[in-house]
Amino acid sequence: MKHPFDIPESKKIRLIINTDAKNEADDQFAIVHALLTPRFKINGIIAAHFGKHRTDYSMEESYEEVIKVLDIMNLQDEVNVYKGAVNAMPDEETPQLSEGADFIIREAMKDDQSPLYVAFLGPVTDLAAAYMKEPAIADNLTALWIGGGAWPEGEFEFNLMNDINAANVIFRSPIPLWVIPQNVYKLMRVSIAELAVNVKPYGEIGAYLYQQLIDFNFDMVDKYIPNMIEHAKQAGKEIDPKSFEGWPKGEMWHLGDSPIVSLLLDDHQYGYEMKPAPRITSDMRYVHYQKERLIRWYHFVDATFTLQDMYAKLKLHYG
């Protein structure tokens, strides 16, 4: 993609995005924002599953959604799309191998001086598979994960729920890891009116970003939450309906995946602490059992910086 401005080559990074793009309406905003960012050299996007709580074909739906976004932006020939794992790990010893995991390995082991970052907007299933197949990748990439509950106790969180086993594999691995937990990514509050003014008017992709969120807002209430609860029950799992009380709220949304862009533009030096990686229980609580394996745990992301950068880039490209 041709950008309206450039930055020194030495400041650019390689980025792989792993996205459960059809889970709801915020992944698309993060994907587009990243594609409009000159700092990022995006060689591939991996479609991730989002469990079987709503559909048996979640990875395939994510794959088709990524293709659709790239087609609207006329980038279908510039960015490769890979299929990730279809299912979560059944236990902590059985990786779910995929072409997406193989792509992570190839990029990590490539002779390239540009730093490699892999951003996960859903479960970390494909990172766990890549690491278990080729542990040497731990020395060659940094992972960002939008997921997990608030420190220090943990809580129900959707991305974590979709593969607790994979999260435990990554938490105990030596992979450099930045965690943006639920209490932080929900700082990305936007109103529908704000999106109508700053996103909808800017190109076919702006109109699509806006409309797909509007559509999902209605579908979530009418279809997805009831179906998700019923699907989980049939699979022998329970989702507490109270987890969705008050969400969606009607006239606002959380663009919770967008911090992957702003944190890679500026890592928010005072927005995180290095924490000992916990072990995660089946009910998504944290067990603090060691002090050697440290991960970067964010407690703040600048929502204004994140959103204003996205709006500016949409206007520069499509204004």
Higher pLDDT, residue 229 or 205? 205
Tokens describing residue 146: 């939008």
Domain locations along the chain? 10-191+255-318
pLDDT single digits (tens) 235-289: 666 666 666 666 667 789 999 999 999 999 999 999 999 999 999 999 999 999 9
Q: Is the link from the previous residue into 241 a cis peptide, with omega within 30 of 0? A: no
Strands of 152-267, DSSP E: 177-180, 189-191, 252-254
pLDDT at 141: 98
Q: Which residue type occupies 69?
A: V
Query: How many CB atoms are located within 10 Å of the residue 194 CB?
Result: 14
Q: Provide the 3-class DSSP secondary structure of residue 114.
A: coil
What length does the chain have? 319
In this predicted structure, the answer to whether residue 38 has a pLDDT above a threshold of 80 is: yes
Q: Which CATH topology does 10-191+255-318 take? A: Inosine-uridine Nucleoside N-ribohydrolase; Chain A (3.90.245)
Tokens describing residue 169: 């594999």
Name residue, tokens 């995180």. Answer: 272
pLDDT at 188: 97
Nearest partner of 137 among 101, 168, 99, 178, judged by Cα: 101
Strands of 48-204, DSSP E: 80-83, 116-120, 142-146, 177-180, 189-191
Q: Which residue type occupies 169?
A: V
Cα(261)–Cα(254) distance, integer angstroms: 15
pLDDT single digits (tens) 71-128: 999 999 999 999 999 999 999 999 999 999 999 999 999 999 999 999 999 999 999 9
DSSP assignments along 275-309, one per residue: EEPPEE-TTSBEE---SSSEEEEES---HHHHHHH
Angular region, 123: left φ>0, alpha ψ -120 to 50, beta rest? beta
Q: How confident is the model at residue 182 (pLDDT cuts 50, 70, 90)?
A: very high
